[in-house]
A and B are shown apart, each in its own frame.
Chain A
């Protein structure tokens, strides 16, 4: 580092990780500092180190030396800035932040007692806080100089000479110079050196508005937020500007340089991996225990151990021991053990399934040899990062395993990871609108239909760059924000806020551990998560790798919940044990069902794309499922790997491999490189690379390392290939081929882990359909489809749907009539609380309900909820003559219950199983009902249950639809190429996935009485008719069928119209239709709720 005294170093700078008190990303601050020629920069976020990993990572590639610190809110008022001058200081700061964040009454507004600061002063430099709100300045400026002096003395004593500075700042508001002079005189009188900072909160003066909005948003108020300062000067000023501002205080500039010199680059998080300390019996080593357990597991799985098993176990255990990862495997195994003890379904996912040790420990399920899984894809001696073991557990009971594991390891500290949450454009509109004083209703109106972003496998796709594009979207036709003049400020603010940090969330399943050497609170600050007893580490889940803190992911998977229940129901039916995790393999009927494409409810196979692929690929064995799951990913779709694979599988296209030696590797995938593991094997066979070296090539190809690095790799590959007798031309061809495919590859281990669950769910659907659908409907929210569509799918599979009945319905759906019928459960009735539901179940045990009034009197059901029960049809049997309207009239005459008679606080209704989508941001208007309904009963059911109980909503329109020239969806699938046809259906989902060409293509999924149909809408048609898709819930689609031997079926839409309008012309009454919401992951979607990130 050069001479810092020539420039200036900002030692008090907040980023967006101050969540509401800072704007810039750490990367932006570093970039700007580098551009200004600064040699160091401190990050001092408020009450946290959330942004430190990103800050350090961003600094690594620049000449800016990072300084780690925090702005600590003090209980006595004001704040201090603490900077780490060593790793010891970093650990002190982590401990201090943990201590007061965990001890504060209000976790959202933590306050640090000054005594705690004094206790944790080791290795830290203290600045007394910016003006006017800093700890010492606020006392001095309030005239409480005596208190300020006393405070300064105790700080001096704790931090010692040279580690305490009185901070002076100039925000250029009226009187700022005088204030600065007063504080300076105060410090000089006490012999404490001054230090100049600018309390940076944003990057440029123009960003002060964003800062003010975020402060207001964090405090849920309109502008001005609390502590508002009329300034735009808290930006990252250049060295020259800072030297001008503080020209009368040269010693303050010198102090800044001196502290920067001492603290710059002292905190390093990368490089060291902090693994948990395993719980061992006396005399055991982690490696010894792991070896014993792996061997035991191997014997259980393989019986007598073949040499290849022994050799591979030896190799894997040696590598694990060399890298010191044995404790991590043992902790993961303990989690599995806890799950088994509690009877909770658990499976592994991800690349960990490449390891035989993982398989033998029961962490993963796919057998490594049979599935050609390679340990080196998971870990090897050259990998510097920590391995990642992910476990999927039944989502309802996952917390039990997590909490038990946390309890066992609490001595060294256990916490879950944080998630740094950023704003979408829609979210930014909401934040800005509220700050500008719009009412909640106006805010909803303004944010509705604003296009948002979507995520896929950790990548965020933002289809729109800014307002220009967003306002041109059909979804925003007629939107209030089109009045650009009126909403100029809102548009400006939200456009600039989008993508910025708003708040911190919790990754409920990502556990990190401390160890014997360092308690977790010394590795990173820990804070309360908001859930009782659950602590959260401040680093984002994606930053833990950088910080050398491997996390153990205990993920909640609803499919486990559903499979578990389906297994129980099937066992009850057959009076035998049906274990969905131990089913007969390679069941022909199961594959036959998958090939039909009627896959709703099947894990990973149920999306429209996968349904389509199932019909094209025609899977017949487990390996086909593994390939199918791998192929329908953005990568392979973008790289068009699907078509050659399908054509070659069906022998419609020849394939060849560059070298005959590669045939065994590529035979199973017909010469297409699908799996990342194949890249390792190809490099091994052609160039003699070890598998570990092959993995390095794969990683280099996957993560862009720049043309220089790739050229070096290629040269080495060609050189070593030629040394083995392969011609240079072939070697270069193979390398380019690998390079082309590697970016799209998918881990076979991950796909195989998922395929096991796909097979299990397909098997259960094929052999126990009522039990399977019942379990799905009871495990909501989950999967791709709304409960309404799932129930209609069940009906299409021949399962009868029985009406709700207050005496026969269970809590959830139940299977009746020996597995041929499903009855709607009580929890689908809107507005029912947990206690109301329990009281119904217990009261009817004693004696049946005689009337609605009797039910009302004997249970905890509130009047509104009772009305919903009546509307849903639960009480039809109680008053067959009066009918639902008669019951409703009678109920309205009943007195309203006083909630305090039963309990002190009114109990909130249970979340409705089909109402998840209502909580999503930007829910759109209810789509109009379809006309026609004989008695309005179906409409009532729809409103109270969000289900079509009696029949499909299009059922009554068979003749009308025929007159309109509509063809049922199932028939359309089989029409010849070029047929012009008309389809009609209810909205299920509209998506815009990434495409190979980059041009937008929209996929609309509709549902009619016959089933589901995905249609394709190109940009021109979308521009013209897209607004209908966003404003209505049922459509009439005119288009053309394409049957391509390469790509299979598609329905290209040419014209879209509102089905309701079309039917209104034909009929008069009304029928229920789906509600429609905007959602992330899709533009609009019927009755859906997002899955976990």
Chain B
């Protein structure tokens, strides 16, 4: 702070040393669906972010990866994700609102333990959760990541 001068303008991000928010994005950040999509797109490309499907279990993050077999139940244009029953709870069902993104992964094919050969879909579920579902070459759908 300069003695006798005006206080300089500083954002919260600068004060805390957080990364700057993307240029051109004015607060409030999420006034519309479109602005939310743009922010999401930007964040997904940020090098300091991890994709849910790449996170190890128990990493202490809100997003996590998994490889949990699921079923997709379709009825007309409505698709539901069905997680099998676990412990005392019965199977859970979530409706897929829409597909946000899709990609193909053929990773580490030379390593039997870590090889990946699948089509992955990032979907928005009812309730706002984002999940990553994979259709593996060997057959079957799996829940491979969840962003709570």
Contacts and interface: CB of A to CB of B under 8 A. Distances in A.
A205 to B, nearest CB: 8
A211 to B, nearest CB: 11
Contacts of A517: none
A224 B108 contact: yes
A572 interface: no
Contacts of A178: 41, 44-45, 101
A672 interface: no
Contacts of A212: 109-110
B106 A231 contact: yes
B65 interface: no
B105 A174 contact: yes
Interface string A426-461: 000000000111000000000000000000000000
Interface string A220-256: 0001100000111100000000000000000000000
Contacts of B120: 174
Contact of B104 (A173, A209, A489): A173
A437 B112 CA distance: 13
Interface residues of B, number: 15
Interface string B122-137: 0000000000000000
B104 A175 contact: no
A174 B51 contact: yes
A230 B105 contact: yes
Given A174-B120, A175-B44, A178-B41, A231 B101 contact: no
B103 A176 contact: yes
A208 interface: yes
B67 interface: no
A208 B115 CA distance: 14
Contacts of A173: 103-105
A230 B114 CA distance: 13
Contacts of A224: 108
B143 to A, nearest CB: 17
Contact of A233 (B101, B104, B109): B104
B98 interface: no
B106 A232 contact: yes
A174 B105 CA distance: 8
Nearest to A182: B45
B104 A172 contact: yes
Contacts of A489: 110
Contact of A208 (B44, B51, B106, B108): B106
B36 interface: no
A233 B119 CA distance: 12
B107 interface: yes
A223 B115 CA distance: 12
B107 A230 contact: yes
B110 A223 contact: yes
A186 to B, nearest CB: 14
B104 A231 contact: yes
Nearest to A205: B106
B108 A174 contact: no
Contacts of A208: 106
Interface string A721-742: 0000000000000000000000
Contact of A232 (B41, B101, B104, B110): B104
Given A178-B41, A178-B44, A172 B103 contact: yes
A427 B41 CA distance: 46
A233 B110 CA distance: 17
A523 to B, nearest CB: 41
A342 interface: no
A177 interface: yes
A209 B108 CA distance: 10
Contact of B106 (A177, A223, A230, A436): A230
A172 B105 CA distance: 8
Interface residues of A, number: 20
Nearest to A208: B106
Contacts of B105: 173-174, 230
Contacts of A435: 110
Nearest to A177: B101
A360 B76 CA distance: 90
Contact of A175 (B103, B107, B108, B110): B103
Nearest to A209: B109
Contacts of B108: 224, 230
Interface string A943-980: 00000000000000000000000000000000000000
Contacts of B109: 209, 212
Interface string A398-423: 00000000000000000000000000
Given A175-B45, A178-B45, A436 B103 contact: no
Contacts of B101: 174-175, 177-178
Interface string B21-39: 0000000000000000000
A12 B120 CA distance: 27
A172 B45 CA distance: 15
A443 to B, nearest CB: 15
A232 B120 CA distance: 14
Contacts of A174: 51, 101, 103, 105, 120
Contact of B110 (A172, A176, A231, A436): A436
Interface string A194-212: 0000000000000011001
Nearest to A233: B104
B47 to A, nearest CB: 10
B6 to A, nearest CB: 31
Contacts of B104: 172-173, 231-233
A882 B103 CA distance: 78
A212 B108 CA distance: 10
Contacts of A232: 104, 106
Nearest to B107: A230
A966 B101 CA distance: 79
A486 B120 CA distance: 30
A208 B104 CA distance: 13
A496 B1 CA distance: 69
Interface string A165-202: 00000001111111000000000000000000000000
Contacts of A172: 103-104
A176 B45 CA distance: 11
A234 to B, nearest CB: 11
A208 B108 CA distance: 12
A436 B115 CA distance: 13
Interface string B89-104: 0000000000001011
Q: Which of B45, B101, B104, B120 has the most CB of A within 10 A?
A: B104
Contacts of A175: 44-45, 101, 103
A233 B106 CA distance: 10
Interface of A: 172-178, 208-209, 212, 223-224, 230-233, 435-437, 489
29 contacts: A172-B103, A172-B104, A173-B103, A173-B105, A174-B51, A174-B101, A174-B103, A174-B105, A174-B120, A175-B44, A175-B101, A176-B103, A177-B101, A178-B45, A178-B101, A208-B106, A209-B110, A212-B109, A223-B110, A230-B105, A230-B108, A230-B116, A231-B104, A231-B106, A232-B104, A233-B104, A435-B110, A437-B110, A489-B110
Closest 8 CB pairs of A and B: A230-B107, A174-B103, A172-B104, A232-B106, A223-B110, A230-B105, A230-B106, A178-B41
Given A175-B45, A230-B105, 5 more contacts: A174-B51, A208-B106, A212-B110, A231-B106, A437-B110
